[in-house]
Amino acid sequence: MSAIEVFADNLGNYLEPEQVNLVRRAYFYAEQAHDGQTRRSGEPYVTHPLAVANILADMHMDHQSLMAAMLHDVIEDTGIPKDALVEQFGDTVAELVDGVSKLTQMTFESKAEAQAENFQKMALAMARDIRVILVKLADRLHNMRTLGALAPEKRRRIAKETLEIYAPIANRLGMHSLSTEFEDLGFKAMYPMRSMLIDRAVRNARGNRKELLNRILESLQACLEREGLQGKVMGREKHLYGIYQKMRGKKKSFNEIMDVYAFRIIVDKPDTCYRVLGAVHSLYKPFPGRFKDYIAIPKANGYQSLHTTLFGMHGVPIEIQIRTDEMEELANNGIAAHWVYKSKDEVINGNHARTRQWLKSVLELQQNAGNSLEFIENVKIDLFPDEVYIFTPKGRIMELPKGSTPVDFAYAVHTDIGNSCIACRVNRRLAPLSEPLESGETVEIITAPGARPNPAWLSFVITGKARSNIRHFLKHQRHSESIALGERLLDKVLASFGTQLSEIPEARVQAVLTDCGMELMEDLLADIGLGNRMAYVVARRLLASEGGSEEEAQKVSPDNDSDSDEKPLAIRGTEGLVVSFARCCNPIPGDPIVGYLSSGKGMVIHQENCRNLADNRHNSEKILNLAWDKDVSGEFTVELRVELEHQRGIIAQLATGITVADASIDKISVDERDGRVSVVQLVVRVRDRLHLSQLIKRIRNLKGVMRITRLKN
Ligand code: MN
């Protein structure tokens, strides 16, 4: 019989005939796809997927997992597209194969140890269906078993990855058999000498230990019999990598480790576990403080057992684990144990059903145990991928909440990077700063010196760190800009009195500050800049004589001489957050302007003749004369209304005309007046009035344009 027929025959033990047929079909598909390919060892390639399926069948995994195992290298190695698999084997199996391929493409390069854990999480988060991980683990196990055929360099790389990533994942999922095999194979490949020495020492010790081991075993069996308890007693040996880690980590000598005699007793039900415990505790004296009840308080991955250590004859330490058959099965196969068919007519619904069942059972155990936090931390990631894992350009992995954007990422890397970021590349292509990131992406943040956070970022960042840093920065910036504006406003008024701040006696300044309930001049200036206090009033107070009343202060009046040549405050356009341009009249450089101080908001700049200011005109203390600075910079918004004859392509021509005139469009909307005439509303950005007039001229010259006006109010 051929290998596949032997395999199919065995599957009959727990799968339905039609399921076995599907697995068989997947095998033949893979055989054809890999036709002509061989493994390093020289065997036909298809022996590998078959072996992977065998590993999964030993764990009694379902037929879809086995099909995915057969096909797991097809997308990656033969160029057959995923769609073809969907057509042949359905969505679920194709998704599984695709998931395994994606994991295969991720290689673990960083040497940092802390990275390994994030990488494990990333692998889990990327696999929406936990069976992807199980197939991948089986794939890796077969590759580890056949590692010998590879070049030493590659062998070491794979072994390292296995030790750092796959063994811990298997452990997280409670798959003890798998994780110990990973560890021993990885250890052997990474450190052949150390592994060989420990192996040899274990063999030697085994001979010496044999007699004592048997005597203890017999006495344990006899003890159970006396008490009328059913149980299977087995000697237990530590695996090589476990011994190595104990020697390194706990600094124990080989003899200390080997001096311990370890046994496992398997019984029928939990109640019996405790009875057996009682029996062995009466046989030998227990070590104080070494008893662990993992039945009542299971480990994070669901592991359950009783552990105790006894003083044997001549004080030899005896370690004993007591558990039920079911606990034993779970301890060995973990999550995979839940795919075991308990009866042939059991219905599987949904690919997550069994995983959920496992999670649920473990979660219940954990909740009873009261340490569910640790559990959630360990397991949530495999089915609740609410985190994304992002690579920095140097290969470091950052863990971020799902939905995070490049700005969140930038702040996660460093506050300074966040504050000065201007653009980003995701997988080397330029991407918007607001684009949500996905696991496995590499993100590079582009920064510029002097760049500042944009208030608009607050609308899309999702991490607290980004949000609070942006807020903090803006608040700080606003504060310093308020101070600067307040100082300019106060200086201007003081100048009209023929003096300046530095000439006011310190004591007078202090008196005014105390009056205002403030400690620092900066705060008073900021208050002026924000429009909460009139510069004029503050100036008069500063100029009043010591102890002088408000009335006296009012007698102080501006110098007539300086009043005549009083210069309006100059606006540069770079004042920042405390100076804004009114949306009603959209002033641009060249327009006559005035400033309106609005409490708490700073200064809003309007056109001099803006209708919105008409009511405030008499409130002259709040209105300031302004002028544009010679070196004004930036782009300013204007609103235009264009009436044009409707014709094909006219909007595109309009847009091109604006671009050619070196202005940028913020908004464009078209209203059809009647069949013939359209009215276009434009919001464009220009440098100044001159630039605007050039733009208008250009638009007016376009064929079909009838009228163009700049909108105010
Ligand atoms: Mn493979």
Task: Please report, for the domain that includes residue 318, its CATH number.
Answer: 3.30.460.10
Give residue 126's pLDDT: 56
Residue 358 domain flag: no
Pairing mode, strands 636-645 and 677-686: antiparallel
Residues 269 and 227 in one domain: yes
Give the model confidence (pLDDT) of 333-392 as tens digits.
877 766 554 433 343 433 344 445 555 555 554 444 443 334 334 444 444 446 777 888
Residue 467 domain flag: no
Give residue 71's pLDDT: 95
In the reported structure, the alpha carbon of residue 65 is separated from the centroid of ligand 1 by a whole-number distance in angstroms of 14
Q: Which amino acid is at 380?
A: K
Domain ends where: 428, 462, 496? Answer: 462
Residues 143 and 216 in one domain: no
Residues 621 and 644 in one domain: no
Q: Which residues of the chain have pLDDT under 70?
A: 106-128, 300-301, 337-386, 545-566, 616-620, 713
Residue 300 domain flag: yes
CATH number at residue 114: 1.10.3210.10
Residue 478 domain flag: yes
In the reported structure, the alpha carbon of residue 24 is separated from the centroid of ligand 1 by a whole-number distance in angstroms of 18
Residue 71 domain flag: yes
- Domain of residue 301 covers 206-340
- DSSP class of residue 185 equals H
Give residue 252's pLDDT: 80
Q: Annotated catalytic, 77?
A: yes
Residues 268 and 320 in one domain: yes
State how far the Cα of 171 lies from the Cα of 333, in Å rounded to an integer.
10
Domain ends where: 604, 627, 650? Answer: 627
User: Cα(first)–Cα(last) distance of the chain, in Å?
Assistant: 90
- What six digits make up the tokens of 414? 């460093």
Q: How many domains does the chain have?
A: 5
Q: Which amino acid is at 108?
A: F
Residues 275 and 142 in one domain: no
In the reported structure, the alpha carbon of residue 260 is separated from the centroid of ligand 1 by a whole-number distance in angstroms of 39
Q: In Å, what is the CA distance from 490 to each residue of 481, 541, 550, 630?
A: 14, 12, 18, 22
Residues 525 and 617 in one domain: yes
Residues 494 and 440 in one domain: no
State how far the Cα of 689 lies from the Cα of 626, in Å rounded to an integer.
16
Place of tokens 């360990």: 378
Give residue 123's pLDDT: 60
In the reported structure, the alpha carbon of residue 49 is separated from the centroid of ligand 1 by a whole-number distance in angstroms of 6
The closest alpha carbon to 423, from 447, 439, 400, 396, belongs to 447
The closest alpha carbon to 124, from 134, 112, 114, belongs to 134
Q: Is 435 helix (H, G, I), strand (E, B) or coil?
A: coil
List 5, 31, 35, 76, catalytic entry: 76
Residue 396: phi, psi to the nearest 5?
Answer: -75, 145
Residues 267 and 166 in one domain: no
In the reported structure, the alpha carbon of residue 96 is separated from the centroid of ligand 1 by a whole-number distance in angstroms of 13
Residue 350 domain flag: no
Give residue 108's pLDDT: 57
Residues 118 and 92 in one domain: yes
Residue 67 domain flag: yes
State how far the Cα of 183 lies from the Cα of 360, in Å rounded to an integer.
28
In the reported structure, the alpha carbon of residue 2 is separated from the centroid of ligand 1 by a whole-number distance in angstroms of 21
Residues 10 and 144 in one domain: yes
Residues 447 and 548 in one domain: no
CA 488 to chain centre: 45
CA angle 323–325–327, rounded 5-degree value: 55
Give residue 266's pLDDT: 95
Give residue 566's pLDDT: 61
CATH number at residue 663: 3.30.70.260
Residues 18 and 147 in one domain: yes
Domain ends where: 627, 658, 684? Answer: 627
Q: Which amino acid is at 47?
A: T
For the entire predicted model, the pTM comes to 0.56
List 16, 62, 73, 77, catalytic entry: 77
Residue 377 domain flag: no
CATH number at residue 444: 3.10.20.30
